[in-house]
A and B are shown apart, each in its own frame.
Chain A
């Protein structure tokens, strides 16, 4: 059973297009995240939602708009794609029960903008 799933796994598109990446978690967690990992392999947080409410919004261009229809889903919509948006995008959900605060990551979506 997949805990955190993302679709699509690969996305190749032209500059200027609009695209969406979907994320779903079946772990019952309240908090979900989007991370971006660029070509230099640095992993940086972009957004976080808790119970459909935005709680973290890093310095991300407003072309990126997260949407959380319910607490099990956090989708990422990107408008007017640019070459620099090419990266691997990871979704994660957070379990903060007990003494821990563990994040579970999805398999990633590799976005290539041509």
Chain B
């Protein structure tokens, strides 16, 4: 079972920041927070991950609360191509572990 809770859907205006929340209140100390997305009919795509600190890359920023019980994925300037299902996953970096995908959040970017 997924160990995260995400809203089922969100809308965002094109050009605005999209803030996608994720609750992972039972996260363990050795578990990372990963974000993937799946654009319609394509394979999932890695976005970003983090352990404690906030992270930023060319796609997005990840803000993790100090108690690590929740996080927010930020797409700073959403475009229509960012319309997708976004998955928040907690994942221990140990040999043999597996990604467990939940239902994710459907993000609709509208012009």
Q: Do A and B bind each other?
A: yes
Binding site for B on A (CB under 8 A): 4, 33, 41-45, 48, 50, 55-56, 90, 92, 96, 100-108
Number of B interface residues, CB 8 Å?
22
The CA-CA distance from A52 to B110 in the complex, in Å, is: 45
Total cross-chain contacts (CB, 8 A):
49
Chain A to chain B: the 10 pairs with minimum beta-carbon distance, closest first: A105-B43, A43-B101, A102-B46, A45-B98, A105-B44, A55-B96, A90-B43, A101-B93, A106-B43, A108-B43
Interface 1/0 per residue, B61-102 and A, CB below 8 Å: 000000000000000000000000101000101011011110
Contact A56 B98 (CB under 8 A): yes
- Once the chains are docked, how many angstroms separate the CA of A101 from the CA of B48? 10
A-B contact pairs, 24 of them (CB 8 A): A4-B43, A41-B103, A42-B103, A43-B38, A44-B101, A45-B99, A45-B100, A48-B96, A50-B95, A50-B96, A55-B95, A55-B96, A56-B96, A90-B44, A92-B43, A101-B32, A101-B34, A101-B91, A103-B99, A104-B46, A105-B43, A105-B45, A108-B41, A108-B43
Question: With a CB–CB cut-off of 8 A, which chain B residues contact A106?
Answer: 43
B108 close to chain A: CB less than 8 A: no
**What is the interface of chain B mostly: helix, strand, loop, or mixed?**
loop
Task: List, in ascending order, chain B residues with CB within 8 A of A44's CB.
Answer: 101
Say whether A41 contacts B85, CB under 8 Å.
yes
Q: Quick one: which of A41, A43, A103, A108 has the most chain B CB within 10 A?
A: A43
Closest to A88 in B: B41
Known: A42-B103, A96-B93, A101-B93. A107 touches B98 (CB 8 A): no
A103 to B46: give the CA distance in the assembly, Å: 7
Chain B, residues 21-65, CB within 8 Å of chain A (1/0): the string is 000000000001010101001111110010000000000000000
Q: A40 to chain B: closest CB distance in Å?
A: 9
